Amino acid sequence: MIEIIGEDIKKIRNLQTMLRKINLNKNILPEVIVDGIFDEQTETAVRNFQKSADLNPNGAVDIITFEKIVEEYSRIK
């Protein structure tokens, strides 16, 4: 397991919070636990979000994916 510290944990928690809120609104993602760990649940949620946004569903959070997540989150916040 890769050790993730400080700022990385905060970034992952922010990502998980956004994915969780998107799912509560659209019910298109698996449930995400906001714990700061980029685990299989988080990766699957990212992959499902990418599919719903017509992005390459690779499970990685690149800049395009992140911007789309932020855009969707901002709409429902």
Cβ-proximal residues to 76 (8 Å cutoff; 6+ apart), any chain: 21, 22, 25
* Domain interval for residue 53: 7-76
Is 27 domain-assigned?
Answer: yes
Asked if residue 5 has pLDDT above 60, the reply is no
Q: Which tens digits make up the pLDDT trace of 61-71? A: 999 999 999 99
Is 1 domain-assigned?
Answer: no
Record the pTM: 0.86
Domain count within the chain = 1
Is 2 domain-assigned?
Answer: no
Q: Name all contacts of 9-15 with Cβ < 8 Å and 24+ positions apart.
A: 9/36, 9/37, 10/36, 12/36, 12/37, 12/38, 12/42, 15/42, 15/46, 15/61, 15/66, 15/69
